[in-house]
Structure 1
Amino acid sequence: METNYGTLVSLLSCLCVASVVVVCIVSGHYSQSIKFSGAEPGDSVATIELQTKVTASHEVRAVFSSQPPAFYVNRLRNHTLIRKIKKRTRYQGQEEGLARARASIRKAFSNLNRSSEIGGEDNNEVPTGDVYRNAGAFYQSYVEMEKRLKVYVYEEGEVPMIHDGPCKDIYTIEGRFIHEIEHGDGKFRTRDAERAHVYFMPFSVTWMVKYLYKPLTYNLTPLRQFVSDYVSVISTKYPFWNTTQGADHFMLACHDWGPHASRGHPVLYNTSIRVLCNANTSEGFNPQKDVSLPEIHLYGGNVNPKLLSPPPPNSPRPFLAFFAGGLHGPIRPILIQHWMGRDTDLRVYEYLPKDMDYYSLMLQSKYCLCPSGHEVASPRIVEAIYSECVPVILSDHYVLPFSDVLRWEAFSVKVEASEIPRLKEVLQAISEEKYTRLKEGVRAVRRHFELNQPAKRFDVFHMILHSVWLRRINLKLG
């Protein structure tokens, strides 16, 4: 029997992807087809055609044994070759689905007024306007993401450094994303790793710093070693990392040292999708594969009540610009040197006086200055958006969040560090008409930076996933 089974396996090696058929050429025979599929709905159904033979005594038996054909099918179910065939078929179907998504997005790209064609949608929810690079293409891509994207979250590891993260400080987005993808409505998560388009490694760099880093040593080796060990575990236990060399895997970190931690594994650093607040191109951030993550500071885990309902659009904003913050990094000292205490229109402080309220000043200012500190990202950008104060970006080498989709020039102002001495002149040169458009743009993009629990369509959680989705559909595997 073992010899006969080996013969059947050798014949199966000739199977092609398009059809799974074993043909045995014998005289005086007829065919019996047996279909089988995996336990999961949606699996491709493969068909093995086992030839049977009519003997002289008119007994019908399988060519290779007196066992019925189903016996061989049952034995073959768990055979490596059959598993590879099923995996390849499933993989092909997945890539074909992504190809259809790409085609539909390209088609939408050519139609800028797509919102007028959309039926069955709340048109107040459909993205429109100059704040988008192409609203139609973005909407179609978003819909395709909702329809198709599946994320596998590795279950290895324990809290606090895995499956957990900060939810109540400057790195809030790190913990909130992990919590939402693991404990949210589960729309995008799949427990079947073979069905996933992307694979999430749910470790927290912020908690690594808290539990592994020795203060004042500036020794980041423990962080890198942790990441290296983590990748070693998942790449040894599962085939998915090695199949794509990590190209369809992503990590997420808001801590400044996220990029440094990712250096713990060279393939992760160079090939995988890194979702980072510290999106600094001078430190290896690659916008072709990496994702810029907005930094959101939630004191106590909640948005300040003053920012939940900004004043009406026509409310007076008596101050031209505002900034208050610690003196660190290369840009803030220049800002403080030229403007602190120099002008009543430009309210610039290193330490805000106790009788002044930070968010009240934002709500009273037309422009909010967002200089980088030690690293490029600043939570002031999102705070400015929440307060409907036009962000003024004072940062070098910074890839702004969601810039694949959003036209930041439609709702923010970019000022080079060399222009800081002329900052008031630069801002006053912006016409009132343009300022009004910028402020309207800020109001339009606010929903894309909001943290909701549970998450809502087009909010920051979904925008992060969409950024990952864009990189996955642009990645052609195989």
Structure 2
Amino acid sequence: MSFFSVFLGFSLLVSLSAAEPEPLPRSATPFLSPTTVQNYQKMVQNFRIFIYKPIKTLNFPTPAESLFYNSLQNSPFMTQNAEEADLFFVPLSPDFSPRSLARFIGSLRKEHPYWDRTLGADHFYLSCPGIRVVSDRNIVELKKNSVQVSCFPTRNIDEFVPHKDLTLPPLSNPPEAPHAPPNKTTAFLGYVRHGGVNSSNLVNGLVNDPEFLIESEPSDMSTYAERLAGSKFCLFEYGNGDASWIGHALRFGCVPVVIADAPVNDLPFMDVLRWQEMAVFVRSRGVEELKHVLRMTWRERYEHMRGLGVVASKHFVWNESPWPFDSFNTVMYQLWLRRHTIRYRRVE
């Protein structure tokens, strides 16, 4: 079966028809759960979010944050009836001081009954830099219990709590499809966008290697997609350099290689996508070890990983008018998965 056929089949599955779709074989989908498509349809029909009134106009510092917030406000998930809400959005201004933040959470606690039902566990907020815990009770509950939506990659990893928090995928302009992509069997083993003077020793060791194409920025945007499509692997230095093009790599069949010396817990959609089968994770130990891992992957499981990545790439597309399973709606699906919270009985 061609990858185009797999992608076409997946597109048919996400149509919101009344009929129950036939699930694709697990090997052909990038999802961790075989019930993702069915659960997504339930989410579209039933998920409701109440947005508290912000105390001032929100001006987010990143385009991804602004687009997510605008999409949320105009989405069918919005409800004006807080009693039917599954989750509550806390509109935090990026320039809140700790005192202002504590005062705002305190006002929600005082003016509404919903915070104390779960101590904030059915609430979520948007913050790329994250919230630093201080001794104030309101901020402690916000950070410990509420879902934080950050931006990938998180710059302050200590402010990110895996399995509770989640990240927005990067917002970047998708390149046009290549007219005639090179044959991967004869093109580059790897493509790297390095971090300049801050590049790791591993990436610096690849600069003169003829099997790798390395540049700090795309040298020619008109052929950028061809370079991705012609490369077997796309290398990302986690926390050191530009990660905004990871969706581009997936789209053009360039298997992501994440270079990190510690576990990576903030990849977008980690509780939805099978990242371990779509990407290679390596430590920055040396060029020869890296090339050995990539060649073994190329021989044994490359086509499977590439196929999953191409299908998964649709989740990294931001649309001004969201459509099924794009970036906004997949973030919403992650929030839907977190809607079940312990409701503490209020003490009268």
Q: For this structure pair, what is the TM-score category when the shorter chain's length is used for normalisation? A: 0.7 to 0.9
SS of the counterpart of 1:429? helix
State the 1:198 CA deviation.
0.5
1:258 corresponding residue in structure 2 = 130
Distance 2:334 2:200 in 1: 34
CA contact (8 A) 1:322 1:361 kept: yes
What is the total number of aligned residue pairs between the two structures? 322
Distance 2:81 2:325 in 1: 26
1:402 corresponding residue in structure 2 = 269
1:289 corresponding residue in structure 2 = 164
Distance 1:374 1:322, change over 3 A: closer
CA contact (8 A) 1:263 1:269 kept: no
Distance 1:442 1:414 in 2: 15
2:47 corresponding residue in structure 1 = 149
CA contact (8 A) 2:125 2:147 kept: yes
State the 1:288 CA deviation.
2.9
Please point out which of 215, 227, 231 is paired with 1:365. Answer: 231
CA contact (8 A) 1:154 1:201 kept: yes
CA contact (8 A) 2:51 2:88 kept: yes
Higher RCO (C-alpha 8 Å, min separation 6): 2
Distance 2:149 2:125 in 1: 6
2:297 corresponding residue in structure 1 = 430
2:246 corresponding residue in structure 1 = 381
1:230 corresponding residue in structure 2 = 104
Equivalence map 1:312-391=2 (5 Å) = 315-317=182-184, 318-327=187-196, 332-340=199-207, 342-350=208-216, 358-373=224-239, 378-391=243-256
State the 1:429 CA deviation.
1.8
Scaled by the length of structure 1, what TM-score is found? 0.59
Q: Deviations over 1:222-277 (max 9, x none)?
A: 65444334323333332222222111110123x3x224489981111111111222
Q: Deviations over 1:24-76 (max 9, x none)?
A: xxxxxxxxxxxxxxxxxxxxxxxxxxxxxxxxxxxxxxxxxxxxxxxxxxxxx
1:34 corresponding residue in structure 2 = none
SS of the counterpart of 1:403? coil
Distance 1:237 1:419, change over 3 A: farther
Distance 2:221 2:17 in 1: 52
Equivalence map 1:8-19=2 (5 Å) = none
CA contact (8 A) 1:174 1:204 kept: no
Q: Deviations over 1:160-200 (max 9, x none)?
A: xx2x435xxxx432111100011x2x311101112211011
CA contact (8 A) 1:275 1:292 kept: yes
State the 1:125 CA deviation.
9.7
Please point out which of 121, 127, 146 is paired with 1:272. Answer: 146
Equivalence map 1:411-430=2 (5 Å) = 411-418=278-285, 422-430=289-297
Distance 2:108 2:299 in 1: 55
Equivalence map 1:129-278=2 (5 Å) = 129-135=28-34, 137-159=35-57, 162=58, 164-165=59-60, 171-182=62-73, 184=74, 186-203=75-92, 205=94, 208=95, 223-253=97-127, 255=128, 257-260=129-132, 265-277=139-151, 278=153
SS of the counterpart of 1:275? strand
Distance 1:236 1:428 in 2: 60
Distance 1:418 1:371, change over 3 A: same
Distance 1:351 1:147 in 2: 42
Please point out which of 319, 324, 330 is paired with 1:457. Answer: 324
State the 1:431 CA deviation.
3.4
Query: Percent identity at matched positions?
Result: 25
Q: Deviations over 1:140-166 (max 9, x none)?
A: 32122122211011122222xx2x435
SS of the counterpart of 1:427? helix
CA contact (8 A) 1:334 1:420 kept: no
Q: Name the stretch that deviates more: 398-407 or 222-231.
A: 222-231
Scaled by the length of structure 2, what TM-score is found? 0.79
Q: 1:174 is matched by which residue type in structure 2?
A: E
Q: 1:414 is matched by which residue type in structure 2?
A: F
CA contact (8 A) 1:199 1:249 kept: yes
Distance 2:233 2:213 in 1: 10
Q: Name the stretch that deviates more: 273-282 or 366-375.
A: 273-282
Distance 1:355 1:421, change over 3 A: same
Distance 2:253 2:22 in 1: 19
Segments of 5+ residues of structure 1 without an aligned counterpart are 1-114, 209-221
SS of the counterpart of 2:232? strand
Q: Deviations over 1:420-450 (max 9, x none)?
A: 5522222122234621211111111111221
Q: Name the stretch that deviates more: 276-285 or 223-232.
A: 276-285
Distance 1:305 1:401, change over 3 A: closer
Segments of 5+ residues of structure 2 without an aligned counterpart are 1-12
CA contact (8 A) 1:152 1:189 kept: yes
